[in-house]
Amino acid sequence: MQYLMHEYSLLYQAAAWFLTALGIWKILEKCHQKGFWGLIPGFRYYKLAQAAGRESEGVMALVFEIPMYFLLAVSLFIPADDPRQRFISLAVIACGLIMIIYKIRVTAGLARTFGATVLWSILWAAIPYFPALLWGYSRRYQPVNLGKVAENELLAGTAPAVLPAALDHNASDDGLVIHIRQRTAWDFLRRRYLLKDINLTIPNGSLVLLLGGSGSGKTTLVNAINGYEKADATILLNGVDVYENYEQMKYRIGYVPQQDLLRQNDTVNSTLQDAAKLRLPAGTNSSEIHNRVTEVMDSLGMTSGRSGLVAKKSGGQKKRISIGMELISDPELFILDEPDSGLDGVIARELFEKLKEIADTGKIVITITHIPDRVADLFDYVIVLARDSGRVGRLAFFGTPDQARNFFGQPTMERVVMCVNRKDEGGEGRADEFIEKYARMTMESEAGND
């Protein structure tokens, strides 16, 4: 009799698990996800948590459920009288109890998604197959509270909009050639596209403005260009592949982040001296280091204050010091992330005039700024990134500032950004329109040149 009861219990548990899986499959499909996740232990509650807007609870349920199944599998290979079985049993019980708590939180969120009372989460904990099958197969229950915003966030970056791409495969021995097929990242079992189809060539001696709304991929693009976060791409700097020759090329690319990374109690001179020792080739003698530091200070107008402490300098002067540290190695490509952040109009103008002088020496200077119109006349080119309807960063324009204003039909650079920003971000939501317009224009231009 006891044997039959045991067999019945196992049969019931297997049937309950299978029915619950079928219900979750349909629930996930209703929530615009792949239903097969319902068959995978642990992961199915993570996917339910995404649909319920409680992804963190789903992660925790997954974190405890996978070890629990692992311990149960290990216990099958250990004799019943082995002392380790006691430890495994306690660990399984602990994982199970914690997992139940997070599953209740997930299903409570799921009940809200389906417009049901949270008491259903208690029922789910007791007999999960009943609410799973009911919510999954009944037409009465639909994800009324999934919400458009939640759905967009769930799918953001997973499916780029189908738009034409102006592919530029032509290598160049001069300037910066950017050919990014895609830049993706894994967000816990989901691949997201961060950038797609970014193709342009920047000639030497150019000061370039990088524009785009929040989340458009500006920093991702910069990191792909300098090799810090490589993409599926070809990046050539004066004919040399940055990715294939990264150890060599990283010294030919300068990068100044938004946050100044300076030792406040050092003098300006010692700061640049230390930078020179790190960035100049091994074997550079002290006389050459001194001459290079003096040259950089002269070019940035810092000679008179070289003996002063960094802590005593103004925001504009500190930004010049940060720039000087990168200029020490005489890079061919110079990238700056919001160098004018926190600076007033006059100081910011002076800073960008210095950057223009640097570009005029034959270098490429790319800069991000959120207040572009006060210095727009100094730029040779502007890159505009925008998030398409799939929330993937795409190239919406590359050309001169005057061409950009004409292309977008806007009088200012700030209005250009508003054209491509999403409506829920206060913009006009026309990103796809301009991405497609620019891609077609570029392809027609290339066809005409052929």
pLDDT greater than 60 at residue 153: no
For 130-150, what is each residue's pLDDT tens digit? 888 888 888 888 887 654 444
**Which class is domain 176-252+331-449?**
alpha beta
Q: What is the C-alpha separation between 94 and 121, in angstroms, rounded?
A: 20
For 247-257, what is each residue's pLDDT tens digit? 888 889 988 87
Biggest alpha carbon distance in the chain?
A: 97
For 179-223, what is each residue's pLDDT tens digit? 999 999 876 556 789 999 999 999 999 999 999 988 889 999 999
Range with the poorest average pLDDT among 43-47, 334-338, 355-359, 439-443: 43-47
Rounded average pLDDT over 325-354: 84
Burial class (CB in 10 A: 0-12, 13-18, 19+), 387: buried
The 3-class secondary structure across 395-433, one letter per residue, is EEEEECHHHHHHHHCCCCHHHHHHHHCCHHHCCCCCHHH
State residue 168's pLDDT score. 61
Tell me the pTM.
0.70
For 410-423, what is each residue's pLDDT tens digit? 999 999 999 999 88
Number of C-beta neighbours around residue 157 at 10 A: 24
For 12-46, what is each residue's pLDDT tens digit? 777 888 888 888 888 888 887 888 888 887 788 88
For 79-99, what is each residue's pLDDT tens digit? 777 777 788 888 878 887 887
Rounded average pLDDT over 312-318: 75
State residue 414's pLDDT score. 92
Rounded average pLDDT over 88-113: 82
Domain boundaries, the chain: 2-155, 176-252+331-449, 264-329
Q: How confident is the model at residue 151 (pLDDT cuts 50, 70, 90)?
A: very low
Closest by CA to 42, choosing from 60, 26, 21, 66, is: 66
State residue 9's pLDDT score. 61
Distance of CA 3 to the CA centre of its chain: 56
